[in-house]
């Protein structure tokens, strides 16, 4: 999705053009109910809760609404799903770092894109490790 074929000197290539955002400029306006989207959503929530705690996840999701990364409807749906993870987080006795690095926000944006497209990127962890290795480090 989002790729447009381009003819150049007799060869056909794919030009990777991101699909347009919705009319309001919001990147993710709904989450599909399929298995792939549910898995991606659970991974994203687990990532945010491990980094921030449940309450911190709520704050960062509200920030993503302000940025136009997700809609208010998506925020509410994520919180509905995340209620079940709150007790899991409390039972782990883990101490979240309490903030997200720039690379962590990029990772969130990748999850958002996977949810928007309805597909899971096979090399997500590989891409994230490149960000940490070459880009913003903790």
CA-derived radius of gyration, the chain: 17
Q: What is the pLDDT of residue 64?
A: 96
Residue 81: pLDDT band (50, 70, 90) is confident
Is pLDDT of 122 > 90?
no
Chain segment 26-51, per-residue pLDDT in tens? 999 999 999 999 999 999 999 998 89
Is pLDDT of 59 > 50?
yes
Chain segment 84-119, per-residue pLDDT in tens? 776 665 666 667 778 999 999 999 999 999 999 887
Is pLDDT of 138 > 90?
no
The domain locations on the chain are: 22-134
HEC sequence for the chain: CCEEEEEECCEEEEEECCCCCCCCCCCECCCCCCHHHHHHHHHHHHHHHHHHCHHHHHHHHHHHHHHCCECHHHHHHHHHHHHHHHHHHHHHCCCCCCCCCHHHHHHHHHHHHHHHHCCCCCCHHHHHHHHHHHCCCC
């Amino acid at each position: 999705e989002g790729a447009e074929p381009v003819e150049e000197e007799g060869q056909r290539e794919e030009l990777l053009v991101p699909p347009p955002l919705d009319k309001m400029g919001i990147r993710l306006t709904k989450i599909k109910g399929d298995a792939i989207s549910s898995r991606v959503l659970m991974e994203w929530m687990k990532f945010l809760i491990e980094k921030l705690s449940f309450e911190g996840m709520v704050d960062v999701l509200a920030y993503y609404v302000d940025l136009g990364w997700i809609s208010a409807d998506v925020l509410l749906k994520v919180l509905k799903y995340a209620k079940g993870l709150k007790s899991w987080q409390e039972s782990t006795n883990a101490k979240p770092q309490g903030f997200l690095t720039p690379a962590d926000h990029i990772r969130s944006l990748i999850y958002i894109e996977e949810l928007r497209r309805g597909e899971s990127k096979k090399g997500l962890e590989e891409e994230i490790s490149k960000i940490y290795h070459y880009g913003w480090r903790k």
